[in-house]
Structure 1
Amino acid sequence: MTLLEVIENASVSSEPLASQSEYPIVLNPDDVLPNLRPKFESPNLVSLVNPVVGWQISKTDSEVIDLGKNFFTKLNRKLKNPNDFDKDEFIRILNQFLEKIREKAGVSIGIDSSDKGYTVALIEKLGSVMGKDVAGLVLDACVVLETWELVEALIVNGHVEHSCYSTLVNKLVMKKMSHLICVCIKHASDLGASEILCILKYFLCPPKDAYGSMVNVRKEWEKQALSAIERASDKGLTGKKARLAKDASISLMMAHDGFSAPELCLHYLLASSNVDAVVLASSISKLNGKEMMSLIRYLGKWLKKYERFPQAVPCSEATSKLGLKVCCWIPKLEDVVNWVGLVLDEKFSSLVLHPEFHEELRSMEGMVSSLALEARNSA
C-alpha cells in the first residue's frame, strides 16, 4: 500500500477513536532532557546525529497518562450505553478525574467544589493536561448529554482539536445551539469548507424554531451597544479614551440596528480573520438561490451602513480598553467588500441569469460606487 493510499484510507475512515495514543499529553522536558547522555563514550563529532540513552518520562507525567487512559476506557464504556448514563454521573466522574490530575500536577483551582462553575474551572486549569484523546471523548459526552456550558469551556480554552470541529458544528446546528456556533466561529483557528457551509446555511435561512436560540446573541449585542452609548456619554472619559468610546458607540450602533438575530450571528463569520478565502469561496459556491439572496441582502445592509456612516472606523481597541468585547467582531468595510467580491466571483453567472438578483445588485453597485468615490476624495 502506498503512502497516498494510507492517507486516503485514513481520511475516509469514520470509525470513532477506540484507544489513546501512547503519550497523549505534552511531556515535561525539564525532567527528561537532563537525564539524556550519549550512548557511546566517544561520540562521532562529524556525524549530524548521535544516539542518546537515558530517556525516561517523569513519574508525574507517567501517572497522569495512566489516569487519562483509565478514564478514557471508563468513559468510552459508559458512552456505549447512554441510556444508563446521565449528566450528573458524567460530571461526577469527570470531576474525580480532573481532581486526581490536579493533585498530581499541584495546581490550585481557586474555587470551591460546591460552586456551580467548579467543573468549568477544572477544565480551564487542567484541560490541557487531559490529553487530546480524552478531551475529544469528553466533548462527545458533553454533546450527547447536552452539558453545553462544558462544551463552551472546551472550545474557549482551546481543547477542541481541529478534526473535531466538523462533527461538532453539525451537531450544534442540529441542536440549534446558535450561541455555541458563534463561539466556534470565534475560537476555531481554521474552519473547513463543510463547517462554513453548514454555518452559512443555518444563519442565512434558519429553521423557524431556531430563532429562540439566537436571543442570547442579540441580547449580547444590545447590551454592548447600550454600554458603548453610556461610555460615550461619560464625561469622566477624556482624550483618547473618549474618542474611542465615541467611535465604539457609532460602530456598535451601526452593527446592531437593522440587523436580524441570524444576521448578528453572521457578523462573527464576516469579521473573522481565521476564515481562509479559498475555503470561504468554496462554501459560497454551494449556496442555493434563497441562501444567496439572504447573503446579498445582508452584505447590502453593511454597504448601506458604511455609506451612511462614513465616520465609522474599526475600534477593536475598545475590547481591551473599554470592555466592549464585540467591538473586535464588527466587520470592517474591507471585510464586506471582500465577501462581495467572492460572491460575484463564485456566482456571477447565476446572478446575471436570474432577474430576482438584479435589483439587489444594482443597489449594491450604487453603494460601492459611492464608497469608492468617497475613498478617492479623501485620499
Structure 2
Amino acid sequence: MSMLELITKASASSDHLPSDSQYPIVLNADPILLNLKPQNQQPTDASFIQRVEGWKISQADSDIIELGQTFYKTLKIKLKNPNSFTKAEFITLLNSYLEKNNDKLGSLVVSGLSNDEGYTKSLLEKLGFLIGDAVLGLILEACFKFEIWEVIEALIVLGLVNGSGSVSDNLVRKLVERNRADLVCLCVKHVSNLQVSDMLLVLKFFLSPSKDAYSAMRVVRKEWEVQTVSVIETATDKSLAVLLMMAHDEFTTSELCLHYLVASANVDDVMFSVCVGKLSGVEIMRFVRYLKKWLVKYQKFPQVGSVSKGSSAHGVKVLESVPSLERVTKCFGLVIDEHFTSLVMHPEFREEVESIELVVNSLVAEARLCCNLANLCAGLNL
C-alpha cells in the first residue's frame, strides 16, 4: 500500500477513525530507501530538490495497520453496548488481535496457552509496541470497565503509557478514584512527562488517603517488606539492607507510597514546586513531618548516603524509589520557598522547623568534617 493510498483511505473513512499516523508502522528502512528513485532521470540544474518515487511499505506492515483498524472498530462498537460485552469476551478479543500481529511478525510468542490475563501480559510484553494511542485508549477503557488491573499494570510497566499523550490524560485520576494506590505508584515510577495536575493529585492522594485506599497501599508495603527481607538474606553490601529498612520502618503505609513520588526521576522540580504551593495547611504539615523523618534517618545512618542506586541491578527493585538525602533536602527547600509565611507565623509549623534545624545543623557539621578529611587525604596523596 502506497503512502497516498494510506492517506486517501484514512480520509475516506466513514467511521472517523484516528489517522494512520497514530498507529505504529513497523518499518525496515533499508529496502524502502533502496527502492526510491528519481522521478526525472535527467534532472535539471535549475532545481536543488529532486522528487523521488517508489515509496512502498511491506505487505506485513500494511496488514498490521489493517489489524489495528479492525480491532479499533470492533472494540469501539462492543464498548457502546456494555451490557452485552463481558470480561471474557474482551480478553479473547484482545488476545486474538495480538496473536494475529504475532503471526505477521513470525511468532514472537509461544502459542497454546489459555486465554487468561497471564497470557495477555505475555503477549503485551512481546507485541505491545504495535499498539497505537487510539487502540491503547480503548484497551484502558475496557480494563477499567472490567477492573482488569493486571493488564493495566503491564501497560504501565512496559512503558506503553506516556504522560504527555492524550491516552493517559485521565489515567491517574481514574486510578485515584478507584483507590488503586499500587498502580498510582507504578505510574509515578514508569510514566514519563507527568502533568502538574497528575502530580498534585498523587501528592494529595498520598498525604490524605481515603480509608478505601489502604487496601492497595498494603500491597505496596508488602512489596517493601519482601524486598527488604530478601536483601538482608542475600546482599553482601549490608548498606542496602539498612537503606531499605530506613525506608520501611516508622513510615506509615501512605508515606511508603509517597517515597515513589519524592524519589521519582520523572518528577520535574519546577512542576513539583507548583504542586507543593497548592497544598493545604494540613497537607503541608504532614509533608514536613514526612521529610523530617528522612532527615533524622540520614543523620542516624550516614553510611547509607553513598549507596549507589545502581545497586538495583542486584534485583532490588524498590531501591530506586528510596529518596536520597539530596532529594529530601531539595523537597524541603521547595516547601520553605512556597510556604515560608505559614511556617514562620504558625507556632506548630515553627516548632517542626526548629526541630528540623537541629538535625540539619548536625548533618552540615558532619559534611564539613568529611570535606576536611577528604582535603587532608588529597594532600597526603600529593
TM-score with structure 1 setting the length: 0.88
Unaligned ranges ≥5, structure 1: 1-16, 233-241
Q: Tell me whether 247-256 or 355-364 shows the greater mean CA deviation.
A: 355-364
Which residue is 1:25 aligned to?
24
RMSD after superposition = 1.8
- Report deviation, 1:26: 3.1
From 275, 296, 301, the equivalent of 1:309 is 301
Distance in structure 2 (CA, Å) of the matches to 1:307 and 1:46:
74
Partner of 1:32, secondary structure, is helix
Distance 1:45 1:370, change over 3 A: farther
Identical columns (%): 47
C-alpha contact (below 8 Å) 1:319/1:328 kept by paired residues: yes
- State the one-letter code of the partner of 1:284: V
Q: Tell me whether 134-143 or 147-156 shows the greater mean CA deviation.
A: 134-143
Which residue is 2:216 aligned to?
213
Which residue is 1:199 aligned to?
202
- Report deviation, 1:108: 2.2
Which residue is 1:9 aligned to?
none
Matches within 5 A, 1:255-294: 255-294=247-286
Matches within 5 A, 1:1-379: 19-23=17-21, 24-28=23-27, 29-43=29-43, 49-110=49-110, 112-114=112-114, 116=116, 117-162=118-163, 163=165, 164-232=167-235, 242=236, 245-313=237-305, 314-320=307-313, 322-379=314-371
- Report deviation, 1:166: 3.3
Distance 1:360 1:48, change over 3 A: farther
Which residue is 1:12 aligned to?
none
Q: Which runs of 4+ in 1 moved over 6 A?
A: none
Partner of 1:287, secondary structure, is coil
- Report deviation, 1:31: 4.1
Distance 1:291 1:35, change over 3 A: same
Per-residue Cα deviation, 1:143-189 (whole angstroms, up to 9, x for no partner): 22211110011111121133233300000000001110011011011
C-alpha contact (below 8 Å) 2:25/2:64 kept by paired residues: no
- State the one-letter code of the partner of 2:203: L
Which residue is 2:4 aligned to?
none
- State the one-letter code of the partner of 1:123: L
Which residue is 2:377 aligned to?
none
- State the one-letter code of the partner of 1:212: S
Distance in structure 1 (CA, Å) of the matches to 2:81 and 2:342:
49
Distance 1:96 1:111, change over 3 A: closer
C-alpha contact (below 8 Å) 2:68/2:131 kept by paired residues: yes
Distance in structure 2 (CA, Å) of the matches to 1:315 and 1:115:
42
Distance 1:231 1:208, change over 3 A: same
- State the one-letter code of the partner of 1:370: S
Which residue is 1:6 aligned to?
none
Per-residue Cα deviation, 1:84-136 (whole angstroms, up to 9, x for no partner): 22211110111111111111111321364217411111111111112222122
Question: How many equivalent residue pairs?
Answer: 351
- State the one-letter code of the partner of 1:267: H
